[in-house]
Amino acid sequence: MTNSNSTETRQIDGYKRKWHEMGRTRILVTCPFCGADIIAYLWSLAGLGKKCSCGAKLHGSGEVTKDRTS
């Protein structure tokens, strides 16, 4: 799926693991662009999102976007 000519969007296949520590919930997901595991706080996803080391950005909607130039 494509947003524009410069950005590509993919969906995550759900999370691998979910756990709670000190009142905060974290999840483990796999980046659909590079295959790296990403640990993210749910509150962070609901806000600005979480960035993967490859440059892709995970959003609370389950979408991952990446600039084609990255």
Strand partners, 41: 26
Q: For 27-43, b where at least 16 C-beta lie within 10 A, e where not — what string?
A: bebbbbbeeeebebeee
Give residue-wise pLDDT tens across range 18-59: 878 877 889 999 999 999 999 998 888 888 899 999 999 999
Confidence of residue 63 (pLDDT cuts 50, 70, 90): very high
Query: Contact 51/57 with Cβ under 8 angstroms?
Result: yes
Q: What are the structural domain ranges in the chain?
A: 7-67
Instruction: Kindly state the average pLDDT of the residues 4-16.
Output: 84
pTM reported for the whole predicted model: 0.78
Instruction: Please report the pLDDT score of residue 54 as a whole number.
Output: 96
Q: Name residue 56's amino acid.
A: A
